[in-house]
């Protein structure tokens, strides 16, 4: 059995041309290649360009704009959408140690869950508690049905 080198070269050249034609035809279809946009934009006002232009709030301004401000001794990252194409983090705390402000009349002393577009890389302990500046989630949000009532206030300081 003899292999014809000329036929193999011709076959490889034809295959290369077909691949180039397919790549050229797909180059103009950027709309097809883009990922689908999520139905619910949970952080409409927190897109990076908007958050950076606003800057960080002072502690007094963040307290004024917040619906709920509490101090906690522990903070646990429950879930992250980072590996699923997003940048949202779900946090939980087992106990609220100090309620600073509440507009909704909630007396949250046990567990509290909130969502944030910021990942907190802080060590929260009894010696170093963290102040949470939280805002309400919109009524139509699917997270509200899951029991999450609060989100991190955009631009709030991490204290």
- Tens-digit pLDDT profile for residues 117-132: 888 888 888 888 888 8
Give the model's pLDDT for residue 50. Answer: 45
* 52 pLDDT higher than 50: no
On whether the pTM is more than 0.75, the answer is no
- Structure tokens of 101? 């402000």
H/E element, 61: helix 59-65
Collapse the DSSP code of 121 into the 3-class scheme (helix H, G, I; strand E, B; otherwise coil) and give the result. Answer: coil
Token digits of residue 60: 């007094």
- Residue 110's contacts (CB-CB under 8 Å, 6 or more residues apart) are 94, 95, 96
Return the sign of the alpha-carbon dihedral for residues 43, 77, 52, 54.
positive
3-state DSSP assignment of residue 20: helix
- Map out the domains of the chain as residue ranges: 1-34, 44-152
Q: Nearest 5°: phi and psi at 44?
A: -55, -45
Q: How far apart are CA 63 and CA 68, in angstroms?
A: 8
Phi, psi of 15 (to 5 degrees): -65, -40
How far is it, in rounded angstroms, from Cα 79 to Cα 100? 26
Q: How many CB atoms lie within 10 A of CB 109?
A: 11
pLDDT of residue 3: 67
Lowest average pLDDT, out of 44-48, 55-59, 61-65, 108-112, goes to: 44-48
Task: Domain 44-152: give its CATH architecture.
Answer: Beta Barrel (2.40)
Say what the pLDDT of residue 15 is.
86
């Amino acid at each position: 059995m003899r292999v014809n080198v000329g036929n193999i070269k011709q076959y490889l050249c034809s295959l290369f041309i077909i691949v180039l034609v397919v790549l050229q035809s797909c180059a103009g279809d950027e709309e097809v290649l883009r990922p689908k946009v999520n139905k619910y934009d949970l952080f409409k006002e927190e897109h990076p360009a908007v958050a950076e232009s606003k800057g960080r709030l002072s502690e007094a301004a963040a307290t004024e704009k917040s619906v709920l401000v509490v101090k906690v001794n522990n903070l646990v990252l429950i879930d992250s959408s980072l590996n699923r194409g997003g940048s949202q983090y779900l946090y939980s705390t087992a106990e609220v140690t100090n309620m600073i402000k509440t507009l909704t009349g909630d007396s949250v002393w046990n567990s509290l869950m909130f969502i944030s577009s910021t990942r907190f890389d802080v060590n929260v302990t009894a010696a170093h508690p963290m102040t949470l500046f939280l805002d309400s989630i919109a009524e139509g949000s699917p997270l509200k049905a899951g029991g999450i009532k609060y989100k991190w206030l955009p631009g709030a300081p991490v204290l």
